[in-house]
Structure 1
Amino acid sequence: MSLKHYTAQGYEAFQETLKSIGKGHRVVALFTGSKSLTTGESWCPDCVVAEPVIDEVIKGADVAGIDVHFVTVFVGNREVWRDPSVGFRTDPALKLTCIPTLLEIGNKAKRLTEGQLTNKHLIKDFFTEE
């Protein structure tokens, strides 16, 4: 898999990252809780559980031959995420309701959330199905 990996801290940084990638590319974003500077772990327990599973799938050779721009998007701390007016919740292209969420940008219907992101087969299918 040709995987180009990006990281964005917050909604504005995510929008800038999308602009830098440009149109006409397949972009998959993982929306996750920001990590503590002291512990290195997310405040979001579901995100902590899902992260190693997702990492294992995208590093695995079983998704070879797929060209993807992969963006890890840190949504902020718990207070920022819970704000109903945060861009991740209000943006019509995203409409996030929970984290973690794996979403193909430009295809709102193609998403995996929370508990689905602990299933390696679902994640692999997400990347390999057109």
Structure 2
Amino acid sequence: MSHYEEVKVHGYDEFCKAVSERKGKDIFAYFSGDKDAQGMSWCPDCVEAEPVVRGEMSHLPEGSVFIYCQVGERPYWKDPNNKFKKTLKLSGVPTVLSFS
């Protein structure tokens, strides 16, 4: 049994809902490009970073939340007006952010 909760979400609205449902907890979010049916992301850096990020998850604080967020397909991500870039100020994927 892990000492943190993992939540998988897709897209900005699902991400916001997951965060608001867990207000008051330590939240760590990993943003990645969408994966295809084979589980491969269009973002090669995301593929490379995921095992590293997962390796560090054993250090997450007790009772915290890890949100794995797929940001969308490449064309959506490339749009400078997408909500991740505009609202969360993400400049690239993969990105790890913490919220508390």
TM-score by length of 1: 0.70
Aligned counterparts, 1:28-43, within 5 A: 28-37=28-37, 39-43=38-42
Q: Deviations over 1:99-126 (max 9, x none)?
A: 00000125xxxxxxxxxxxxxxxxxxxx
2:44 is aligned with 1:45: yes
Distance 1:64 1:77, change over 3 A: closer
**1:55 Cα deviation from its structure 2 partner:** 1.2
Judged with a 3 Å threshold, the aligned counterparts in structure 2 of structure 1 residues 83 and 53 are, in CA distance, closer, same or farther, namely same
Superposed displacement of residue 67, structure 1: 3.0
- The equivalences for 1:1-130 within 5 A come to 2-21=3-22, 23-37=23-37, 39-58=38-57, 60=58, 63=59, 66-91=62-87, 94-105=88-99
Identity of aligned residues (%): 35
Where relative contact order (Cα < 8 A, 6+ residues apart) is larger, the structure is 2
Please give the alpha-carbon distance, in whole angstroms, between the structure 2 residues aligned to 1:74 and 1:104. Answer: 16
| Equivalenced residues, count | 99
CA distance in 1, matches of 2:55, 2:61: 17
TM-score (ref. length: structure 2): 0.90
Contact preservation (8 Å) 2:5, 2:64:
yes
User: How much has 1:66 moved relative to structure 2?
Assistant: 3.3
RMSD value, Cα: 1.6
Per the TM alignment, residue 2 of structure 1 is displaced from its structure 2 partner at its CA by 2.1
**Secondary structure, counterpart of 2:89 in structure 1:** coil
More helix by share: 1
Unpaired runs of 5+ residues, structure 1, are 107-130
Structure 2, unpaired ranges of 5+:
none
Runs of 4+ in 1 over 4 A off after TM superposition: none
